[in-house]
Amino acid sequence: MTDTIAHEPQLTSLDRGPWWDRRLQRNDRPLSKIHLDFHNTPFIGAVGEGFDAAEFVATLMGAHVEAIVVFAKDMHGWFYYPAARSEAVHPGLSRDLMGEQVKACRNAGIKVYAYYCFAWDNLLAEQHPDWLAVKRDRTNYLPKFDETPGWTGLCLRNEDFLRSTLDDSADLLRRYEVDGIWYDMPFPVGGECFCHLCLASLRERGLDPLDVDVQRADKQQLWVDWQRRSADLVEAVRPGCDVDQNNNTRLGLGERVPYMSNVDIEALPTGGWGYQYFPVDVRYARTFGAPVTGMTGRFALSWADFGGLKGPGQLEVEMAQIVAQGAQVCVGDQPPPSAQLDAAVYHRIGAGYAHLDVLRPFLEGAAPLVEAAVVVSGQMLADPGRIEIPGLPVEPSVAWSHSVVGAAELLLAHRVQFDVVEPGPDLGRYRLLVVPDRTVVDDALADLLLAHVESGGAVIAAGRALQRPDGTSWSPGVRPAGRSPYSVPFLLPDEALAGRLSPFPYALYSGADQFHVEDATVIAHLGVPPFDRTPEHWTSHSYAPLRERTDYALAWHRGRFGGLGFAVGSDHLTTGYWVYAEVFGAVLDAVLPERLVRAELPGPVEISLTRQQTDEGPRTLVHIIPSFAERRWGSRLETYAAPVTLSDIVLSVDLDHPVTSARRVRSSEPVRLSDDNGRVRLELDRLRGPDLVVLE
């Protein structure tokens, strides 16, 4: 299980070196992995008839695959080996498919993991409806009889269900020499349950089952208990076997991670997660010291997109984004019921993994180098990276996660190297703390933030995060004056923003809060219209124009503290209005003028730093990734357009070790290295696709 080494809290100083988590160097997980989805109802007929062990292994090895997840039990509830629960063996199966796959992989030196779908099991849901989680409206997760089945959610408090799962796990672990078991859907679906067992348990403890926070805390404990029991079972039956649990990048991970060998992040960018999801959740997951694996897919859309295949270069970019964060790579595939792997699919995957082989010497033992953290405090089990995507269900905490993702995208745009963290004593290792506009700042977090500023660290807070939940201020020199009564007020730049913004009333499309500030440099004020658009008074097509400037501060800095009186992260995410990024950048420059990376680059380019410790000393890796994802609002599809060649790339890096050489790994073109007032200046003539620059 995960090594839970405690950290010594570190004093903050803006002139000390950047933070890197040395626990992440001790990582022997496979770099290139396949997740083989294989869900088949009985309607499909025969399954596994086309499987050939030699062909299977040859295809994987030709694609540079080091590990694979094969199927023990699918989401429909069917097994793909002669399981002890023989009534649940797939009726179309005439061979020990998983057994043959495991044997073939072990003989070839490919690590093999057994997939087991846990809380989503249609067969068990139909056979044991009393095991189902119950929703707030008294319905459960079984579809109506005239509906096509979808999700099912079984309750983690039901001991019969848990015992059945643990017995299944012991059965397959005794039968097969697998390297790990991979549980899918191991979490309490919906984050609450009103079955008779959950109601009785909560009421016996004097708790209110209708209280969402009570439900979330209870389900977190059930989740922790499940992961502990399953980890204990696996260690007892097959000592040293890995235990991987999917879907864990939700608040409260710190309590669950001791019972996991790895944090898997299922994040198919085109399949409903979006290209924003992995960059946020990996920065949260890696802060607990466990190895992290990022999972994308070969599909044009999502799982079961049998005829979908990503275009040339798309997988390559997604893989580069994953390893740039110190994570391993997994690519999802789903063969047809015959269980034959498709040559075209593995040609595409193999091309991407071949590029990783070139990078391997600079990925092994590398850990991210960071200077900042997005501080998240919200409802238990909330997912930081999940945003609203048309066509997909909306999570209740989506407004909160929009603020987190928005803050992350602002930091990415300004090339800040950052983690995503829950409040705790380790905040002191970061130079800058960013508090998104929906983060709940209670007294404990307020004390941590103030202590951070007092010890020389920087803090930026936005919107509601400038106040406690009761509306009182915790931030230095700030007096809240309520919410602006206007739905679309204006941002009026002061002279300090002259180099960034022209004088103009810039719309605040989601409104603003009102703040008086003392002993601070105000760089923007709040402007207001004459009225809101209502049936009583309106004008033209939309909101009314500016009437006057107010005395309320909208953006300011005071020493190492910066404030923005509107939801800068959420608003930038949902509107894309460039002005918000400019104002955030001005506050950022004021409180953290010296940063790890400075760059003037054409187009959207992600830059991430990782660090290796070699016998000769530290080595810094600069990951440069052109990113051209296009979100198609109105559909669930998010696409990636192949990047054009970028020219005249110039950036500088502020490092804590001497640099005498710089070279590109994926290109033979030179890197010009020079000193820039103590910073390392790098110049590249051209960039097409991801590259990695080695500094040592």
Q: Give percent of the chain with pLDDT exceeding 90.
A: 83
- Does a structural domain hold residue 20? no
- pTM as predicted: 0.95
Confirm if 612 and 621 have CB atoms less than 8 A apart: yes
- Does a structural domain hold residue 9? no
Q: Does 447 have pLDDT greater than 70?
A: yes
Contacts of 535 (CB under 8 A, 6+ apart): none
Last residue of some domain: 334, 358, 382? 358
Q: Does 133 have pLDDT greater than 80?
A: yes
C-alpha 501 chain-centroid distance: 32
Q: Are residues 393 and 310 in the same domain?
A: no
Confirm if 292 and 26 have CB atoms less than 8 A apart: no
Cα–Cα distance, 389 to 375 (Å, whole number): 24
Residue position matching structure tokens 């949902």 = 574
Residue position matching structure tokens 């990636």 = 640
Q: Does 7 have pLDDT greater than 80?
A: no
Of 48-62, 244-258, 589-603, which range is least confident? 589-603
Last residue of some domain: 540, 567, 591? 591
User: Other C-beta atoms within 10 Å of 518: how many?
Assistant: 10
Confirm if 25 and 365 have CB atoms less than 8 A apart: yes
For residue 630, what pLDDT is reported? 60
- Does a structural domain hold residue 152? yes
Q: Is 48 helix (H, G, I), strand (E, B) or coil?
A: coil
Tell me how many domains the chain contains.
3
Distances (CA, A) of 528 to 494, 535, 542: 15, 19, 15
Q: Are residues 214 and 252 in the same domain?
A: yes
- Does a structural domain hold residue 162? yes
For residue 4, what pLDDT is reported? 35
- Does a structural domain hold residue 23? no
Q: What is the mean pLDDT of residues 625-633?
A: 65
Q: Are residues 618 and 565 in the same domain?
A: no
Q: Are residues 386 and 480 in the same domain?
A: yes
Q: Are residues 230 and 106 in the same domain?
A: yes
For residue 390, what pLDDT is reported? 62
**561-564 and 180-184 as β-strands: parallel, antiparallel, unpaired?**
unpaired
Q: Does 590 have pLDDT greater than 70?
A: yes
Q: What is the mean pLDDT of residues 600-606?
A: 81
Per-residue pLDDT tens digits for 350-377: 999 999 999 999 999 999 999 999 999 9
According to DSSP H, which parts of 455-539 are helical?
none
Q: Are residues 664 and 690 in the same domain?
A: yes
Q: What is the CATH number of the domain that holds 80?
A: 3.20.20.80
- No. of helices (H) and no. of strands (E), the chain: 14, 30
Q: Does 694 have pLDDT greater than 90?
A: yes
- Rounded-to-10 torsion of CA 242, 246, 248, 249: 110
Cα–Cα distance, 197 to 158 (Å, whole number): 7
For residue 545, what pLDDT is reported? 92
For residue 10, what pLDDT is reported? 38
* Mean pLDDT rounded to a whole number for the chain: 93
Q: What is the CATH number of the domain that holds 585?
A: 3.40.50.880
User: How would residue 637 be classed by pLDDT, with cut points 50, 70 and 90?
Assistant: low
Confirm if 52 and 58 have CB atoms less than 8 A apart: no
Q: Which of 585, 410, 564, 411 has its CA nearest to residue 491? A: 564
For residue 272, what pLDDT is reported? 86
For residue 634, what pLDDT is reported? 46
Q: What is the mean pLDDT of residues 236-261?
A: 98
- Does a structural domain hold residue 26? no
Q: What is the DSSP letter of 311?
A: P
Q: Are residues 497 and 556 in the same domain?
A: yes
Q: Are residues 421 and 286 in the same domain?
A: no
For residue 144, what pLDDT is reported? 86
Q: Give percent of the chain with pLDDT exceeding 70.
A: 94
For residue 631, what pLDDT is reported? 52
Q: Is 46 helix (H, G, I), strand (E, B) or coil?
A: coil
User: How would residue 312 be classed by pLDDT, with cut points 50, 70 and 90?
Assistant: confident
Per mean pLDDT, which of 233-237, 598-602, 615-619 is the most reliable? Answer: 233-237
Cα–Cα distance, 356 to 323 (Å, whole number): 9
- Does a structural domain hold residue 366? no
Domain limits for position 251: 39-358
- Rounded-to-10 torsion of CA 131, 132, 136, 138: -90
Cα–Cα distance, 446 to 452 (Å, whole number): 10
For residue 17, what pLDDT is reported? 64
As a three-state string, the secondary structure of 223-284 is HHHHHHHHHHHHHHHCCCCEEEECCCCCCCHHHHHHHCCEEEEECCHHHCCCCCHHHHHHHH
Q: Are residues 570 and 660 in the same domain?
A: no
Higher confidence at residue 308 or residue 634?
308
Extended beta strands in 389-537, E state:
418-421, 432-435, 458-462, 478-483, 490-493, 506-507, 513-517, 521-528
Q: Does 652 have pLDDT greater than 50?
A: yes
Q: Are residues 201 and 237 in the same domain?
A: yes
Q: What is the mean pLDDT of residues 133-144?
A: 94
Cα–Cα distance, 279 to 282 (Å, whole number): 6
Q: How many CA atoms lie within 13 A of 494 on its CB side?
A: 17
Of 38-47, 82-91, 389-398, 494-503, which range is least confident? 389-398
Q: Retrieve residue 256's tokens.
A: 């669950």
Q: What is the largest CA-CA distance in the chain?
A: 78
Q: Are residues 565 and 684 in the same domain?
A: no
Of 29-38, 137-146, 202-211, 514-523, which range is least confident? 137-146
Q: What is the CATH number of the domain that holds 612?
A: 2.60.40.1180
- Does a structural domain hold residue 5? no
